Homo-oligomer: A and B are copies of this chain.
């Protein structure tokens, strides 16, 4: 299948859709608001094709950290942790699905735990049914999730890692990462100077320091995110990644419309 150029991946960050410091507390109004903005975007741009992903926030991360699931799953207790992380992530997924479906969006979930595994550094993901779902006009929903790992039993795959794998197969035009920051700050945590564009060139020429996010995240903070997305942009020519603030009303809609915002990551300066 050759994808058309309107394929966009939209991630709703765990910090955006949950109260990150309160266990298992969703931000229901934010999720609902974003669901309606996605709906409006699809009304305006009927040929827009979407995959939606979301983080685990205060649902999955605390359990994942407690059981160190990302570092491997070996003992009976580790496997209990694996299932617990899965269950927590799924609980949030259910809330997101509820909101998206209620807004009239034709969503269908593809839990990474059911379609993905890792062997060594290689992640395998079954993309065929996701491709078919997109062709039929549906919106596949993925998430940060536990996955089986042929070497270390199990691990955790972040939404960005799922997106990265899907990108190699589906060649999206843009990946939109909606979080709680305006974008990437050059002076985090002061937040005076926003980096509007990051490429291999700017990284080298301006010697930008990318700082981590405040809350601990088992799948890495902002610095890790930028590095991995920059790497992805090298490997998927033409891809752009936007990091922006999803808390501000209208931002998700405007990002889907293509209005510039936040920080853009691309393979080279355009």
Contacts and interface: CB of A to CB of B under 8 A. Distances in A.
Nearest to A154: B136
Given A108-B113, A114-B109, A115-B115, A87 B97 contact: yes
Contacts of A136: 73, 79, 148, 153-154
A38 to B, nearest CB: 15
Number of copies: 2
A117 B129 contact: yes
A114 B117 contact: no
A220 B209 CA distance: 63
B114 A110 contact: yes
Nearest to A113: B108
Contact of A109 (B90, B106, B129): B90
Interface residues of A, number: 33
A111 interface: yes
A109 B146 CA distance: 12
A148 B126 contact: no
B86 A108 contact: yes
Contact of A83 (B106, B126, B148): B106
Given A94-B94, A117-B132, A129-B148, A137 B76 contact: yes
Given A94-B94, A109-B113, 10 more contacts: A79-B138, A83-B106, A83-B138, A87-B107, A108-B113, A115-B126, A126-B126, A129-B148, A133-B148, A136-B153
Interface of A: 73, 76, 79-80, 82-83, 86-87, 90, 94, 97, 101, 106-111, 113-115, 117, 126, 128-129, 132-133, 136-138, 148, 153-154
